[in-house]
Structure 1
Amino acid sequence: MDIILLIKAVIMGIVEGITEFLPISSTGYLILSADIMNFWDKDKVDLFVVVVQLGAILAVIYDYWGRLWQALVGLLTGKADGMSNPRQLGLSLIVATIPVMIVGFTFADEIKAYLFNPITVAIMLIIGGLLIFYVEKRPKEIVAHEAEQISIKTALLIGLFQCLALIPGTSRSGSTIIGALWLGVSRKASAEFSFFLGIPVIVGAALLDLLKHHEVLSSSEDWWVLAVGTVVSFVVALLCIRWLVDWVSRRDFTIFAWLRIITGILVLIATWVFGYQITA
């Protein structure tokens, strides 16, 4: 067993657990981290980057199990105790998931082949940071204070915003949270809806990628490396979820916009000035 490789997997899991629910692009930071550490070969890294996110989204399921279960019951029966409109939440999540599923299933291989590289990540980090500045300064009228109040139309538009996250460096959380804020959803509801929306998207993408590309994991050690990263991401994400909800309820995302832009600029400088090697 390669201990150094396992340590790198732990680091990758920590990066995923911290960044998955922040508007800074977990995929982008995973690609950059893998590139800097020379972590695995490209095919294994591409699979790891997708599957390790499963750990973070399992943390959401664990932490919000009660609300998610009642939303499922509400979707099936039209009612559930303790929630204002559980059926609405279930329907909205289904509708918001459809666009990214269609685009992702159609273009997943092309996206991984041509866009999973540091230059794409850097450019999208900068663009996303500028969009955060714009949305935060834009006047807002709140139309949904809770995730259960998000309408079908708003959910569909959030789902379209989520399609942008297929480009590494954009951020799934960032595109859905900022998109929801733009559409008049409260900060807390935007964050929680983004968390919930990640469940079908990330679980589906991880399982599909494992099914299509499991052969790149050619040894038991490869599976151990993937498992370690996923477990670490679950634990770290579990510690971060409530903190982020509390953060967005009281503060804006300006600090994350600056972090995105500074990171993107540093990567571009490293590439063009210091000869940083791009993983193709």
Structure 2
Amino acid sequence: MSIIDAIIVAIVEGLTEFLPVSSTGHMIIASTLLGIHKEEFTKLFEVAIQLGAIMAVVVLYWKKFTDFKSWMFYVKLAAAVLPALVLGYLFSDQVDAMLESPLTVAISLLVGGFVLVFIDRAFKRPEINREEEISFPKAIVIGIWQCLAMIPGVSRSASSIIGGMQQKLTRNLAAEFSFFLAVPTMAAATGYSLVLKDWESTPGVAQKGYELLLSSSENMTAFIVGNIVAFVVALLAIKFFIGFLQKHGFKWFGYYRIIAGVLLLVLFLTGIVKS
């Protein structure tokens, strides 16, 4: 992976991680078009640069994350992230297999797009507009919804936001809780990929993620630059998303997903993008 490749993929991650359009799906598309999607380091990189996006949330919501008096906030996040941790561990191999399928991404983008077009009409009467009002059971249900994002193209942000709205949260609060939930979810996924997961950059030779990172200066440089770029771009994307959401709702993201899904299907069917 070149530095240019790393910057492009990191920009895609920062732009899409917190929008309901699927960062994983977009990174798969980007790395496929760049011709690096089969590389083992690319797969690790696409997870590892989530660290930059995580820090963007922590910086923007610093007061919330450092208000240790509100301990129930952390309990809710722990409860909400638990379903993803359990299912992610149990079905790790199946998820990895789906990550290599542009067709899965295209279908997920399309289906999710139609859902977002109508989501504002489906949940017209929200009752909860403050994080303190989110109950323990509601947090767990939102966490279960988030598990749908294990299917590439679904979008962690979209699934958790829809789960929040289904639990009577306002769309702005559902989006913010999705941001909060991203921190432990993505931190766990990144930690697993760097410390516990085995990667085969050389056939028959397994390496932990951190060993693969440290195996070359190029990998380390890509990792550092990628996280910095993802952090800066994610900061801007989050601010844009909240403002856009207040004015326009989710339908435009739905239209975008439908167009992106159709284009990816065309690229796949014509052989330009291959699985």
Distance 1:40 1:137, change over 3 A: closer
Quote the residue 2:205 is aligned against.
none
1:110 positional shift: 2.4
Which whole-Å CA distance do the structure 2 matches of 1:142 and 1:40 have between them? 41
Q: In structure 2, which of residues 162, 186, 191 is the aligned counterpart of residue 207 of structure 1?
A: 191
- Hey, what's the Cα distance between the residues in 2 that align with 1:187 and 1:203? 24
Partner amino acid, structure 2, of 1:263: A
1:42 to 39, 44, 47: 39
Query: Counterpart of 2:204?
Result: none
**In the alignment, does 2:274 pair up with 1:278?**
yes
Percent of residue pairs identical: 39
Q: Partner of 1:73: helix, strand, or coil?
A: coil
- Considering only aligned residues, what root-mean-square deviation do their CA atoms show, in Å? 1.6
Structure 1 residue 40 displacement after superposition: 6.0
AA at the equivalent of 2:177: F
Across the two proteins, how many residue pairs are aligned to each other? 262
Given candidates 114, 119, 125, the residue that maps to 1:130 is: 114
Is 1:267 paired with 2:251? no
CA distance in 2, matches of 1:47, 1:136: 35
Report which stretch shifted further, 116-125 or 245-254.
245-254
- CA shift, 1:210, in A, is 0.8
Equivalences for residues 25-174 of structure 1 within 5 A? 25-39=22-36, 41-70=38-67, 72-75=68-71, 87=72, 89-174=73-158
> Is the alpha carbon distance of 1:27 and 1:110 closer, same or farther for their aligned partners in structure 2, counting shifts above 3 Å?
same
Greater shift, 130-139 or 43-52, is seen at 130-139
Matches of 2:220 and 2:37, distance apart in 1: 13
| 2:227 alignment partner in structure 1 | 230
Q: Deviations over 1:116-150 (max 9, x none)?
A: 32111111111111221232221432121022221
Match of 1:221 among 195, 218, 223: 218
Q: 1:180-239 deviations in whole A, cap 9, x for unaligned? A: 112210121111100000000101100110112424443121121122111100011112
- Which among 5, 8, 12 is matched to residue 9 of structure 2? 12
- CA shift, 1:22, in A, is 0.4
For the residues of structure 2 that align with 1:277 and 1:187, how far apart are their CA atoms? 35
Aligned residue type for 1:278: K
The AA in structure 1 aligned to 2:108 is M
Aligned with 1:24 (options 13, 21, 25) = 21
What's the TM-score once normalised by structure 1's chain length? Answer: 0.89
Classify 1:251/1:195 alpha carbon distance in 2 versus 1 (closer, same or farther; 3 Å).
same
Query: Alpha carbons of 1:244 and 1:203: their partners in 2 closer, same or farther (altered >3 Å)?
Result: same
Q: Distance in 2 between matches of 1:9 and 1:168?
A: 20
Deviation at 1:246, TM superposition (A): 2.0
Larger displacement relative to structure 2 (155-164 or 175-184) = 175-184
Aligned to 1:183: 167
Distance 1:167 1:66, change over 3 A: same
Unaligned runs of 5+ in 2: 198-207
Report how far residue 38 of structure 1 moved: 1.3
Q: Structure 1, unaligned stretches of length 5 or more? A: 76-86
Over 3 Å counting, the alpha-carbon distance change for 1:65 and 1:171 in structure 2 is same
**Aligned residue in 2 for 1:239:** 236
Divergent runs of 4+, >6 A: none
- SS across alignment from 2:70: helix
